[in-house]
Amino acid sequence: MDTSSILKSLRQLPEYDGQMVHLEKIPSRKARYAELDTQFHPALQKALKRLNLLPLFQHQAQALEALRSGANVMVATPAASGKSLVYNASVLDRLMREKGATALYLFPTKALTQDQWRALRDIIDADAGLKGIKVAVFDGDTPTEERGEIRRTARVLLTNPDMLHYGILPNHRSWTKLLRKLRYVVIDEAHVYRGVFGSQVANVLRRLRRLCRLHGSSPQFILSSATIANPEGHAEALVGKPFTVVTDDGSPSSDKVFVFWNPPIIDETRSARRSSNTEATLLFTYLIGRGIRTLTFARTKRVAELIYMYSREQLRLTLPELADRIMPYRAGYLAEDRRRIEQGLASGELLGVCATNALELGIDIGDLDATILTGYPGSIASAWQQAGRSGRRGEGSLSFMIGMANPLDQYFMRHPQEFFDKPHEHVLVSPSNPYILRPHLLCAAFEWPLTASDKALFGEESTHHIKALEEQGLLKSHRNRWHLSPEIDYPAKEVNIRSATSRDYVIVVEGSGVILETIEESSAFSQVHPGAVYLHQGESYLITDLDTETRIAHAVPTDVAYYTQTMGITDIRIQQVKEQRRVGSVQVYQGWVEVSNTVVGYRRKARVTEEMLGEETLDLPPQTFNTSALWFDIPEAAIDRILKDYSDFDGGLHAAEHAAIGILPMFALCDRADIGGLSTPLHSDTGRPQIFIYDGHPGGVGITEKGFELMEELWRATLRTLVECPCKTGCPSCIQSPKCGNNNEPLDKTAARILLEELLKPGGRRGL
């Protein structure tokens, strides 16, 4: 692909207005190879040779030798570097040499499970000597009549953490053959297991290790991951065992041009930029029109659907023969719909897809020429994973990252080298989160009675939680063993491992009763409230009713030309200060808080122009949860300067809160949606002005702890964002937030700048 001519022609489009703010040319890299000390089993050696999977890249050989020495191994290298061969070769070699040995593979999605099943089958089918190894997929789509045969005969079981949690571990007696001789547990795409999901999976893996011990096995763990800052720490936190880490990538890569594309300013007074969705549509339709196979990523389901709708409409007008060769793709679709789209992309029937990060993982979707990232995806690791989906044929490729109108995206648009030079982020999990750990202790007790020795798996604090569960009558003690109370039936069914809560809402089409999707309880009030417009596969639905008792949202098809955005209010009560320290002239705190969020209404906004069309009130109950937070005092000098400057003190607090929340994902691997905040000139618990930033999940997952640790760096980056933003009074690129329940009022950019300047001064008068 001639990337130079494509970029040149883009500059000649009527819509081009200097959007290319940075081009990073990433040169190709030659492969580095290495030999193993001892060859694979002869049948496997032949199979790998026939498939042109030999010689091994240097990192593959290093990981394989570490596994042969008995270590648990984490391979953390970029996309398309051959990580799957490490675990497939290790497993097949061991299974050929040890009669009855078994392996368990875990993938975060069903689609990836199916894809890797095919890759493993390709190796087995390449040599007759491997034919006896039975490989099976066991997930929610597995027919009931096949499950018994799989339990009896499978030596390699491919599944997902959900099925392991819900179907396998509670029924471990039926899986004795697998567990008794389990030699390897493979965890692919380990970087996905972060936050709440990662914390849940960490406890599922501890339950697995516990049952392996019961059945007499002690498997090695093989983890593969995108490049992250803490591969060893993450692997050990996830599994609870020591790891050897391999990070030096020896695979080849092709040339790539990475373009930072910033939408042009269309209103100088407000520094308002053209919509990133419009820019994504422009790039996507242009590339598709030139026959360039393209994957466009969006940060939310709604945006993925919108870009698809805009692009389809544009192609129908200009290139109607291509309008049916693009599709949207995201989690929530039925399995058959996802598979049809994946196959269409892999076969070339589809030229492009608009997707959420559901296609960020290593699913085989064929060779792509270009990727478009509609906004910074929340982490350096995810950005490189998404960009790495193109350019897998050894040819040049293009990646575009479109800057959205938020502080972090615009920070990178102004400082692209901060992106390219910045180390990858730390992946955070918190298995000891009580809201996550306690339900898993009940699950573990159902599988086998708990004993004092289990604290080695679940942590010292598990002793306290076991006693608390006993006091609640959920566990019964007998001879130093804790059994599940007879009143509890099957605790695993009450735990949704992809959420901190287990209650989902269902979206049902009125009249037909067709189920569109399920949605987490934590998102229901903001996404499927009465009057909400919900998008599904490019079609709009109006939510007519939300039943909070049955957890059903009723929807009807609609063709309205607007979308909806909720408004809400937040209240925070401090429960416990865990730690505090002095930073500059003020005290900074980290601890436990109670957060109460109430959705009080919603706005209707025009799809393309973002014009406000109206507001409606809602009467919904508050959602209250306990979580971790950081908060800090306000310097007296800042208050004096703000009042002297005739600026708005309340607006300065509010603006600083928004800007800091927007920048925090640069320091902790999280999404803007994972964190919330509150600013107040007089907090009821402290009696003084306060800014809070809290973890948006019950119990927290370590985000605010990281922010507390890097408080001064966060303030500095936030101040830099405010100073460099060209707007005069504040805009979405610096202090305005799309999530603000107060409609971004009051906000004062000057006051926020003064506040941050004083926070960064050493010493000085103590804060209020």
CA distances to 94, 507, 516, 601 from 532, rounded to whole Å, are 54, 12, 15, 10
Residue 765 lies in a domain: no
**Conformational region of residue 459, where left means phi above 0, alpha means psi within -120 to 50, and beta covers everything else:** left
CA distances to 277, 307, 741 from 608, rounded to whole Å, are 8, 10, 22
Domain boundary among 467, 494, 521: 494
**Residue 399: strand, helix, or coil:** strand
Q: Could you tell me if 126 and 46 are in contact, meaning their C-beta atoms sit under 8 angstroms apart?
A: yes
Question: For residue 634, how many other CB atoms are within 10 A of its CB?
Answer: 25
Sequence-distant (≥ 6) Cβ neighbours of residue 768 within 8 angstroms:
633, 634, 635, 636, 639, 688, 689
Q: CA-to-CA distance for 64 and 506, rounded, in angstroms?
A: 45
Q: How far is CA 260 from the centre of its chain?
A: 22
Q: Of 396 and 88, which is predicted with more confidence?
A: 88
Q: What is the pLDDT of residue 395?
A: 74
Residue 766 lies in a domain: no
How do residues 528-542 score in pLDDT, each as one tens digit?
A: 999 999 988 768 899
Res. 362: pLDDT tops 70: no
Half-sphere exposure of 505 (CA within 13 A, CB side): 23
Residue 113's φ and ψ, nearest 5 degrees, are -60, -50
Token digits of residue 10 = 């883009």
How do residues 393-414 score in pLDDT, each as one tens digit?
A: 667 899 999 999 989 999 999 9
Q: CA-to-CA distance for 393 and 396, rounded, in angstroms?
A: 8
Res. 69: pLDDT tops 70: yes
The residue to which tokens 């949704």 are assigned: 496
Sequence-distant (≥ 6) Cβ neighbours of residue 115 within 8 angstroms:
342, 362, 363, 364
How do residues 724-749 score in pLDDT, each as one tens digit?
A: 999 989 998 999 987 777 778 899 99
- Helical (H) or strand (E) element with 298: strand 294-298
Q: CA-to-CA distance for 725 and 94, rounded, in angstroms?
A: 58
Domain boundary among 521, 542, 560: 560
Q: What is the pLDDT of residue 645?
A: 87
Determine the residue type at 282: L
How do residues 663-700 score in pLDDT, each as one tens digit?
A: 998 887 677 778 999 999 999 999 999 999 999 888 88
Q: CA-to-CA distance for 69 and 168, rounded, in angstroms?
A: 29
| Shared-domain flag, residues 481 and 334 | no
Cα angle 444-223-126, degrees, rounded to a multiple of 5: 115
**Residue 95: strand, helix, or coil:** helix
| Shared-domain flag, residues 133 and 103 | yes
Residue 379's φ and ψ, nearest 5 degrees, are -155, 150
Q: CA-to-CA distance for 287 and 290, rounded, in angstroms?
A: 5
Residue 378's φ and ψ, nearest 5 degrees, are 110, -15
Q: What is the mean pLDDT of the chain?
A: 92
Among the residue ranges 150-154, 529-533, 637-641, 742-746, the one predicted with the least confidence is 742-746
How do residues 224-282 score in pLDDT, each as one tens digit?
A: 998 888 999 999 999 999 999 999 999 998 899 999 999 999 887 777 889 999 999 99
Q: Could you tell me if 565 and 492 are in contact, meaning their C-beta atoms sit under 8 angstroms apart?
A: no
Q: What is the pLDDT of residue 385?
A: 86
Among the residue ranges 278-282, 660-664, 751-755, the one predicted with the least confidence is 660-664
Res. 710: pLDDT tops 80: yes
| Shared-domain flag, residues 620 and 664 | yes
Residue 686's φ and ψ, nearest 5 degrees, are -110, -20
User: Could you tell me which of 103, 89, 102 has the C-alpha nearest to residue 44?
Assistant: 89
Q: Could you tell me if 408 and 425 are in contact, meaning their C-beta atoms sit under 8 angstroms apart?
A: no
Alpha-helical segments (H) within 604-748: 636-644, 649-663, 703-709, 711-724
| Shared-domain flag, residues 153 and 233 | yes
Sequence-distant (≥ 6) Cβ neighbours of residue 80 within 8 angstroms:
251, 253, 362, 388, 392
Q: Could you tell me if 429 and 237 are in contact, meaning their C-beta atoms sit under 8 angstroms apart?
A: yes
Q: Could you tell me if 89 and 43 are in contact, meaning their C-beta atoms sit under 8 angstroms apart?
A: no
Res. 562: pLDDT tops 60: yes
Residue 429 lies in a domain: no
Q: CA-to-CA distance for 220 and 631, rounded, in angstroms?
A: 42
Q: Could you tell me if 400 and 673 are in contact, meaning their C-beta atoms sit under 8 angstroms apart?
A: no
Q: CA-to-CA distance for 372 and 361, rounded, in angstroms?
A: 15
| Shared-domain flag, residues 752 and 682 | yes
Residue 428 lies in a domain: no
CATH code at position 489: 1.10.10
Residue 283 lies in a domain: yes
Task: Specify the number of domains making up the chain.
Answer: 5
For the segment 477-483, the average pLDDT, to the nearest whole number, is 95
| Shared-domain flag, residues 290 and 407 | yes
Q: Of 670 and 388, which is predicted with more confidence?
A: 388
- Provide the β-strand partners of residue 399: 258, 371
Q: What is the pLDDT of residue 1?
A: 79
| Shared-domain flag, residues 329 and 222 | no
Q: Which long-range contacts (CB under 8 A, 24 or more apart) does 600-604 make?
A: 600/567, 600/568, 600/569, 600/741, 601/566, 601/567, 602/529, 602/531, 602/532, 602/564, 602/565, 602/566, 602/567, 603/564, 603/565, 603/566, 603/567, 603/743, 604/562, 604/563, 604/564
| Shared-domain flag, residues 574 and 527 | no
For the segment 490-509, the average pLDDT, to the nearest whole number, is 84
Res. 463: pLDDT tops 60: yes
Q: CA-to-CA distance for 47 and 125, rounded, in angstroms?
A: 8
Residue 204 lies in a domain: yes
Residue 764 lies in a domain: no
| Shared-domain flag, residues 532 and 655 | no
Res. 23: pLDDT tops 90: yes
Q: CA-to-CA distance for 686 and 332, rounded, in angstroms?
A: 43
| Shared-domain flag, residues 48 and 183 | yes
Domain boundary among 452, 472, 494: 494
Token digits of residue 561 = 């030309």
- Provide the β-strand partners of residue 612: 605
Res. 768: pLDDT tops 60: no
Domain that holds residue 338: 3-27+253-421
| Shared-domain flag, residues 179 and 301 | no
Residue 500's φ and ψ, nearest 5 degrees, are -80, -15
| Shared-domain flag, residues 46 and 166 | yes
Alpha-helical segments (H) within 589-710: 636-644, 649-663, 703-709
Confidence class for position 391, pLDDT limits 50, 70, 90: confident
Question: For residue 515, how many other CB atoms are within 10 A of its CB?
Answer: 12
Q: What is the pLDDT of residue 743?
A: 74
CATH code at position 180: 3.40.50.300
Confidence class for position 365, pLDDT limits 50, 70, 90: low
Residue 79 lies in a domain: yes
First to last CA, the chain: 60
How do residues 43-68 score in pLDDT, each as one tens digit?
A: 999 999 999 999 999 999 999 999 99
